[in-house]
Structure 1
Amino acid sequence: MTAVLTEAEVAPAAAAQQRRRRRVSGTLAVLPLLAFTAVAFGIPAVAMLNGAFTVKDPTTGATSYGTANLTVSLHGAYLTALAGSVKLSAVCAALGTVLGLPLAQAVVTSRFRALREAVLTASGVLANFGGVPLAFAFVATLGNSGVVTRHLGLTDKGWSLYSFWGLVIVYLYFLIPLMVLTITPALEGLRTQWREAAQNNGATTLQYWRHVALPVLGPSLLGGLVLLFGSAFSAYATAAAMVGSAVPLVTLQIADALSGNVLVGQENVALALSLDMVLVAGLVMAVYLPLQRRSARWLA
């Protein structure tokens, strides 16, 4: 009886010790990732915060901490650029989500495996095709002297690639494929039993999507919307090469402030603008994360 009690007492202790060893092993395994995150993201974040709140006296050159840079970043041309970036990103994200969802659904329901793999592969390539090469491709095609522009006489009809809506079209070139890649796993998680149950109860295809599929996909769609918003919000090279200062964007304002194209000594204002971008992205993520957890329970 004593031996049995001893074994019963020893077993929980051994299990607890094994759990502690696993916890320590897991912590040691994740240390390289934590170190990389601290170097790659932590140091730039600290430098950005320090610069954003560092105010330099133009007369004496003395520095102190204050909110003057943040105040400047939220007024005048800087505020216009920030609002322009938010507007552009929101429009591009909304259109990319609306256009990418049916395309992804067509890919998921396709019976041709080769077509499905080809579309997903092309989406992976196009989602990462941006910057100066993308700007050059659209300028050569839809610019003022582009092939399509001259062939269709678009200039006489009021078309201009170097405008807000021209930039929207260019951004959709890589945002729609990105949405296809993002939403495809969620569409594959929709169970056929749900559609069959809806049909057996007399629901039409539209009613199934309205009352079953879209509520389940809602958090995933919002996640894709957030991802597209972030991609458009942070894009720089494409807009810089194509529209320059024709469309006010915060990323272009940051580049001008860092290089001193407009005013000299505005480097800390550029860091304040970067902090504004981080805050906007943080607000968007704060809405997305709770809904993503809800979606994971349905699609698990």
Structure 2
Amino acid sequence: MTQSQIARAGSSTGAGSRFWRNKKAYVGILPFLVLTGLFLIWPTINVVYGAFFTEEGKFSLDYIINTIQKEAHWIPFLNTLKISFWTSIVGGLIGALFAWAISTGKPDGIGRRFVLAAGGVLAQFGGVMLAFAFFATFGFNGFVTTFALKFSETSFLASPDWLYGLFGLGVVYTFFQIPLMFIVFLPAVENLKPQWSEASQSLGGTSKDYWLRIGFPVLFPSFLGGILLLFVNAFSAYATAAALISQGTIITPLDIGSALSSEVGGASAPLAKTLSLYMVTVVVIVMALYSLLRKRVSKWENTK
């Protein structure tokens, strides 16, 4: 076979251009790779590297050790874990109930479309906007506070002090945790096969038997995965807490912000990176567990 025949055979089968087709497939993901490298990989490397070096560039474990020993740093870290845990549990339970309630309605109903749209908006309604909404509602001049003062000055709502502490921050966090869980958990509820319920009934099982032996065991990995996702969402939140609590470092994200921009001469980039390293470690562990759960869930979600 001559060289020209080989070339024609290669072009006819696509072997000659297969190499370039494979290369072109990667062009579309270049922007994603660039953004991931600039805003995820590089900051993570910078945090890990900077936590083990002083401001003079010398290797040291002082920040790693001292951060654990100082009460001013590990108490906010524990507070961050607590608020992330409780808001993920409360938000996860309420959001899961909403998802189940919506799944029982008409697939093309107006109410369903409205709730889905509202859930998508409220899940992203955080930061300064959410803090301002709670200020206007429960703050010192909020309409609920003003209304409560007219009837009972000793009532819980008459004093807005609860809003500016750990409890108030948890209430605010739960506000965007619920719709996020609703969005995450709804596909899992909708993937429950009607045939499973029919098979349970044909074998003499009741509705209780179906949920205890089929529904809950199947949905539990998805529910637990949603809880883990909500935990990370609250654990890494900063803007809402910074807008709500202008002074004090009751959680680690605020502690990091204070270490980077202290107005009293206490700014320390290595300290901020050390605190960030502890947070990154927790997030990596939680997301690894979430990935394992997703692999398990995908086995039955992909069944026909």
Q: Secondary structure at the match of 2:292?
A: helix
Equivalent in the alignment of 1:84 = 79
Percent sequence identity over aligned pairs: 38
Report Cα offsets for 1:200-243 as digits up to 9, x if no partner. Answer: 33333333222211221222112211221111111112212223
Q: Distance in 1 between matches of 2:122 and 2:255?
A: 27
Q: 1:109 aligns with which of 104, 107, 112?
A: 104
* Aligned-pair CA distance for 1:253: 0.3
Equivalent in the alignment of 2:66 = 72
1:140 aligns with 2:139: no
Equivalent in the alignment of 2:286 = 284
Cα RMSD after superposing both structures: 2.5
Report Cα offsets for 1:138-188 as digits up to 9, x if no partner. Answer: 122123443223434576244522232222221111110111111111111
* Aligned-pair CA distance for 1:24: 4.3
| Contact 2:261 2:267 survives alignment (8 Å) | no
Q: 1:167-178 alignment to 2 at 5 Å?
A: 167-178=169-180
* Aligned-pair CA distance for 1:126: 0.7
Q: 1:222-261 alignment to 2 at 5 Å?
A: 222-245=224-247, 248-261=250-263
Q: Distance in 1 between matches of 2:131 and 2:153?
A: 18
Equivalent in the alignment of 1:156 = 154
Amino acid corresponding to residue 180 of structure 2 in structure 1: L
Equivalent in the alignment of 1:34 = 33
TM-score, length of structure 2 as denominator length: 0.84
Report Cα offsets for 1:98-142 as digits up to 9, x if no partner. Answer: 101110111111126110000000011111111122112112212
Q: Distance in 2 between matches of 1:30 and 1:110?
A: 39
Equivalent in the alignment of 1:206 = 208
Q: Distance in 1 between matches of 2:47 and 2:205?
A: 54
Q: Secondary structure at the match of 1:63?
A: coil
Equivalent in the alignment of 1:3 = none
Q: Secondary structure at the match of 1:65?
A: coil
Amino acid corresponding to residue 78 of structure 1 in structure 2: H
Amino acid corresponding to residue 273 of structure 1 in structure 2: L
Q: Distance in 2 between matches of 1:166 and 1:91?
A: 13
Equivalent in the alignment of 2:186 = 184
Q: Secondary structure at the match of 2:54?
A: strand
Amino acid corresponding to residue 120 of structure 1 in structure 2: L
Structure-2 change in CA distance of 1:146 and 1:279 (3 Å): same
Q: How many residues are paired up?
A: 284
What are the ranges of 5 or more consecutive residues in structure 1 without an aligned counterpart?
1-9, 57-61
Structure-2 change in CA distance of 1:110 and 1:161 (3 Å): same
| Contact 1:51 1:271 survives alignment (8 Å) | yes
Amino acid corresponding to residue 65 of structure 1 in structure 2: F
1:296 aligns with 2:298: yes
| Contact 2:232 2:283 survives alignment (8 Å) | yes
Equivalent in the alignment of 1:121 = 117
Amino acid corresponding to residue 154 of structure 2 in structure 1: D
| Contact 2:258 2:267 survives alignment (8 Å) | no
Q: Secondary structure at the match of 2:173?
A: helix
Equivalent in the alignment of 1:100 = 95
Question: Which deviates more, 63-72 or 260-269?
Answer: 260-269
Structure-2 change in CA distance of 1:137 and 1:28 (3 Å): closer
| Contact 1:236 1:251 survives alignment (8 Å) | yes
What are the ranges of 5 or more consecutive residues in structure 2 without an aligned counterpart?
1-8
Structure-2 change in CA distance of 1:68 and 1:241 (3 Å): same
Amino acid corresponding to residue 252 of structure 2 in structure 1: V
Q: Secondary structure at the match of 2:58?
A: strand
Q: Distance in 2 between matches of 1:283 and 1:63?
A: 29
Q: Distance in 2 between matches of 1:45 and 1:201?
A: 54
Q: Secondary structure at the match of 1:137?
A: helix
Amino acid corresponding to residue 165 of structure 1 in structure 2: F
| Contact 2:164 2:245 survives alignment (8 Å) | yes
TM-score, length of structure 1 as denominator length: 0.85
Question: Which deviates more, 149-158 or 258-267?
Answer: 149-158
Amino acid corresponding to residue 100 of structure 2 in structure 1: Q
| Contact 2:48 2:277 survives alignment (8 Å) | yes
Report Cα offsets for 1:29-74 as digits up to 9, x if no partner. Answer: 4444323322222222222222211114xxxxx4311222222322
